[in-house]
Amino acid sequence: MDQITRLDVWVSRLCLSHGYNHIQARISRLVSRTGDGPLYLLLALLLAWLDGERGMGFLRAGLTVFALELPLYLLLKNYIKRERPSGLPVFIRPSDRYSLPSGHTAAAFVMASLVAIHYPSMAPLAFVWAAVIGASRLLLGVHFLTDLIAGALLGSGCTLLVLL
């Protein structure tokens, strides 16, 4: 575990300890906001309205997957209790104390996985977007790399478990 922690700290230092970190943080804040929950609901409702049964299927699937992912995320976060990065620049105030797994990344990968299942041609864009949301959390100083990996696995895994 010490090797993973050392790798996480090294990656965080590399990403946050440079002269461009304030510009990077402004961009990362905007990207991170696209991963806030209300936008997911708005997207799903819009698809349900515009795309008939396929859009309604997307909405129903999203509600079902998030009904599993959110409690599991909270259980893991409060069981593991990994402290957030410290001693490095932090550019936002996180909504809670612990970092593992990244909730923004988990939710982004739920959405990307749902898009891949319901709108396959959009899958590459959706997964790139989800990865960029995860990276934004690292670049804001509130998560380690392994928090993002765990979030991606949680979000994708819950989607696959529920829908396939």
Q: Tell me what the mean pLDDT of segment 119-140 comes to.
A: 95
**10 Å Cβ neighbour count for 49?**
11
Active site residue 104: yes
Whether 79 shows a pLDDT value over 70: the answer reads: yes
CB of 109 within 8 A of CB of 130? yes
The band of 9, judged by pLDDT with boundaries at 50, 70 and 90, is confident
Active site residue 18: no
Can you name the residues that pair with 98 across neighbouring β-strands?
83
Whether 155 shows a pLDDT value over 70: the answer reads: yes
CB of 105 within 8 A of CB of 133? yes
Which member of 18, 22, 104, 118 is catalytic? 104
Q: Tell me what the mean pLDDT of segment 67-76 comes to.
A: 96
Q: Cis link prior to 101 (omega < 30° from 0)?
A: yes
Contacts of 13 (CB under 8 A, 6+ apart): 88
The band of 148, judged by pLDDT with boundaries at 50, 70 and 90, is very high
pLDDT digits (tens, 9 = 90+) for 20-41: 777 888 898 899 999 888 889 9
- As a whole-number percent, the residues of the chain with pLDDT over 90 amount to 63
pLDDT at 1: 62
Cα distances from 119 to residues 54, 104, 134, 139, in angstroms, run 9, 21, 21, 29
